[in-house]
Chain A
């Protein structure tokens, strides 16, 4: 024993201390370096995130305002309802675009040329006529009077008013002519043009006209799709996780299943779309473009995430709880149902919500099953054709009109808000139900 210790003892105490000092400096430098790299990476990540948010928000904000005009419109009784029946069906058949145009022409009596008149009428959105029609039909007594109605202006005027299109650009390169700009100026000077909150964006469905397009249809589609996804993936995922974790014998087969589930979580989402197309649409004959099928495909995609998160949650329940229940004579199923699953539930819910958040932002698999169609109506149930928020972003980002670009960004912002809300909910659930033992 003493012989072994002899060489170490022979090192002088002071030399040992000096060596420690030297290595200490080196270690401290290494530690500082390591921390700096960590902080630098976080800084880069945050900076990129800021850039992302700044880009999206700055390009999205204009979409939340719209340009409209107070038009004095005459509704001639002899043209709209010559019999004076007051029947909305009769009123609905009238040529409302004509009255809008007339209202515009009366503002600029000097415009007489056919081409100019067309340009003048083009300042107003085609949606104005629909609005006027609805207005007249809801109150037949307006027929034969002159009313002032606030109607949307065309997206080009809107873009000009927001400064997205400026007069500096050569006339041939912009969608609004010099004449139109002059008219808009005149109308603005007359105090007829208003810029206000764009309610249409949140209440309307898709449209070919940017000023009439909204995301409510896409939101409804997303909600229907998510309901199906949650209803399928959560129960199936939790049941599989509970069986695999608590009941399945640990053998080769369960190992293979585990590996495959983990692999499934990494499969590109479009593959699930192809599967949905082949199985749900072509084989099972389910309706195309429907939230039902979209939800089923996304449920397939979400399942591995839910299973993996649920298994992790079950694993984190201390074995002592299982033993306590079993030791009292609870059956395996009772121990799991009464104690293990309730304790694992917050973790399972968190996993499900994160899986849902991923599904909510998913586009590719939905393209394969036809949810990419141009759909104006709101979906009323699970089998109506619908689109979802991310697909709406994709569709609008592709559109040639400048005004669709900002709406695309605004939709992204709305989608991000939903995602942040869902992740926030996951955090709250985790904090709220976190148990200590």
Chain B
């Protein structure tokens, strides 16, 4: 059964990479992430079954699926945040620009500097807005002077669309901002480390519609520069922000393809059922 599914996924994958790549760019598709046969176990429980997924460079890839389908688990594998969970084991290959990120040679600190993450619940440090953004550059020694750091903080906050709101109160605690502002602060904080990929784990699920719209607009701007992978519960959001969508169900990658195709013309019955709201 599983064997068969993997096979179909592979077929879909190859099919989609052909269809999706040709209209977007003329160059050969350059996937940032390539995962092959990724299994994840929490203790004895298997959470992911042989995931094969390519994430295209620049652009937004949305991971959708019902609760508990393993999409967040998969996202957290991509910058090894699952390392912090006791009893979590991963097998298979996850290649970032051709390098296996679970290789012993790879320093997880370096990996996470390249692959930033924004969490479901805004989690600014209980420090000033400035220190929140400056923390990453400081620990990595990205900047060499105070003025350079100031510029980077400003630049990152501008990118996150927060500069105008906080420019005159950088010394105030980040925790004093509204939920949407906090989440944009977290995005600014992730950008400040100069990653190539930003992972977003349901970044809008704790926000109101207006704040959500702002974050979605932001994603539209950021995808020019960063590869973005977003986990979302909202299919509308996936349709709005992403160029590619991957549908997970019960720990399996059911289908992946251009967002328009997935929502208008899914290949798999399960995808069809999910996007039409028959389950999940």
Contact = CB atoms under 8 A, between A and B. Distances in A.
**Dominant secondary structure of chain B at its interface with chain A:** helix
A283 interface: no
B41 interface: no
B172 to A, nearest CB: 14
B121 interface: yes
Contact of B112 (A320, A326, A435): A326
Nearest to B122: A320
B229 to A, nearest CB: 14
Interface in A52-97: none
Interface string B79-102: 101001010000000000000000
A422 B110 CA distance: 45
A322 B139 contact: no
B81 A327 contact: yes
A342 B176 CA distance: 19
Contacts of B79: 327
Given A321-B123, A322-B84, A436-B175, A327 B139 contact: no
A323 B136 CA distance: 13
Interface residues of B, number: 26
Given A323-B123, A343-B126, A328 B135 contact: yes
Contacts of A318: 123
Interface string A158-186: 00000000000000000000000000000
Contact of A339 (B113, B125, B140): B125
A309 to B, nearest CB: 20
A391 to B, nearest CB: 44
B117 A327 contact: yes
A399 B101 CA distance: 75
Given A329-B109, A329-B139, A323 B189 contact: no
B190 A328 contact: yes
A339 B189 CA distance: 15
Interface in A322-337: 322-331, 334
A330 B117 CA distance: 12
B180 interface: no
Contact of A437 (B86, B109, B126): B126
B197 to A, nearest CB: 12
A73 B121 CA distance: 84
B140 A327 contact: no
B186 interface: yes
Given A250-B86, A321-B123, A328 B175 contact: no
A344 to B, nearest CB: 12
B139 A320 contact: no
A135 interface: no
Contacts of A326: 81, 84, 112
Contacts of A339: 125
B193 interface: yes
B125 A324 contact: yes
A323 B126 contact: no
A321 B112 CA distance: 16
A338 interface: yes
Contacts of A329: 109-113, 136, 139-140, 193
Contacts of A324: 119, 123-125, 186, 189
Contacts of B121: 320
Interface string A308-320: 0000000000101
A326 B175 CA distance: 19
A328 B189 contact: yes
Interface string A418-437: 00000000000000000111
Interface string B54-70: 00000000000000000
Interface string A339-365: 100010000000000000000000000
A331 B140 CA distance: 10
B11 to A, nearest CB: 35
A330 B81 contact: no
Interface in B149-195: 175, 186, 189-190, 193
B257 interface: no
Most chain A Cβ neighbours within 10 Å, of B112, B113, B186, B189? B112
B159 to A, nearest CB: 16
Contacts of B186: 324
A343 B173 CA distance: 14
Given A329-B109, A331-B109, A343-B126, A437 B175 contact: yes
18 contacts: A250-B86, A318-B123, A320-B123, A323-B123, A324-B125, A324-B186, A327-B81, A327-B119, A328-B113, A328-B116, A328-B189, A328-B190, A329-B109, A329-B110, A329-B136, A330-B109, A435-B126, A437-B175
Instruction: Please provide the 10 A-B residue pairs with the shortest distance between their CB atoms, ordered closest to farther.
Output: A320-B123, A329-B113, A329-B112, A327-B117, A328-B136, A324-B123, A435-B126, A329-B109, A331-B109, A330-B139
Given A320-B123, A327-B190, 13 more contacts: A321-B123, A321-B125, A324-B186, A326-B84, A328-B135, A328-B139, A328-B190, A329-B110, A329-B136, A329-B140, A338-B135, A435-B126, A436-B175
